[in-house]
Chain A
């Protein structure tokens, strides 16, 4: 399997398999995620894309039947080790979900909330402003930070959620279909924001939208159902390469079929 030629990989998976009960959902995933790049994960519904990124910050811990085999190394630390605090990992590897989910609180509180819980000792106003600026939302909300986060438009709410994730000063941001509920303009804003954020952060985005993956990412991983055991519906990594390679000249016929809409 392709190993990206990036010298510095922030997350590496080694023979990672995920089970729900006795059902294998992902099989032997070996994937190196380059630091300060945007990596897109694409694949058909139910192939395990979300399951995979949930492994990157131990979100699967929250699903009682889920179990993980193999390793996820974050800065060479095995995050599944019993000594690792999952809350600490989630602070460093934040997540933005498909549907914007701001807290039913003010814009300001949405950002300050996590920092307060984490016992943030710095200047809260500065943290809020910095996070909102990084999420390209500051200019739109700076004069109404007391307004409810829920009063914002969908696109603004999603950027508020990104600002909230940034406020814990993570290294990695996981995005699970972050723009699928947004209109095209709001979608492009999120994608532009991702380009700015990758200067400082590593971004991993799950998307159903091929155009979004091709526009926004540097690397693309294609996950699909293992055809040799199709009734088991187990996801495998079919191809992983530079985005420019995957969408112009993929190596695998299965990738070609999927991205050109001839899947199945």
Chain B
């Protein structure tokens, strides 16, 4: 088959993207566990380890740029490589959310505030599940699965809204906890954003296969700027 070398290099990069994805998944689950246990030492380690995610992102980006420069991809190949660049960036930003959760854990410390921990754990579980399946769909260019994932974001959004409400109510009831509880808002926000970014991966999957940019995002991207 023509372009075997090119094909092999694309496969290598796809493997690296899956590896980066699993690092982000692990970091997200760890960050929530660390928060739940207020394990400040592990939180510090997780913040430092985010550098590994950043490094891997740049290594993948570099490999993609080299392929673009040396193989002159067009049509499907071009859409694939451009999308891989974007998805790699999405994953790196998701890694930052996990780092943010660990960072806020350190700032909250052992302060005793009401925490909707069930909701937070559920959000992490849902978001990571979505991420995992979205990356498989992305690599396999499976439009059917890619389209089926974004509606699940509604569940994450609902949990976010519930959590937000309970945290704010707690702050109203006891203004002394406002400093620490406002940091808690960032934690639930980060999980909500992570799920939003999964939707972007699904959109890219459709784009690679069809060349069409289909907006699947029901939630509000501008929320991030408001926070």
Contact = CB atoms under 8 A, between A and B. Distances in A.
Which of B72, B73, B76 has the most CB atoms of chain A within a 10 A radius of its CB? B76
A259 interface: yes
B3 interface: yes
A263 B74 CA distance: 13
Interface residues of A, number: 15
B78 interface: yes
B79 A260 contact: no
A249 B75 contact: yes
Contact of B72 (A210, A250, A255, A263): A210
B75 A261 contact: no
A100 B6 CA distance: 35
B211 interface: yes
Given A248-B211, A249-B211, A259 B2 contact: no
A252 B113 CA distance: 60
Contacts of A249: 75, 79, 211
A262 interface: yes
Interface in B94-146: none
| Most B CB within 10 A of own CB, among A214, A249, A263, A264 | A249
9 contacts: A247-B74, A247-B75, A248-B78, A248-B211, A249-B75, A260-B76, A260-B77, A261-B2, A261-B6
Given A210-B72, A250-B75, A259-B75, 19 more contacts: A210-B74, A211-B72, A247-B74, A247-B75, A248-B74, A248-B78, A249-B79, A255-B75, A256-B75, A260-B3, A260-B74, A260-B75, A260-B76, A261-B2, A261-B3, A261-B6, A262-B1, A263-B2, A264-B2
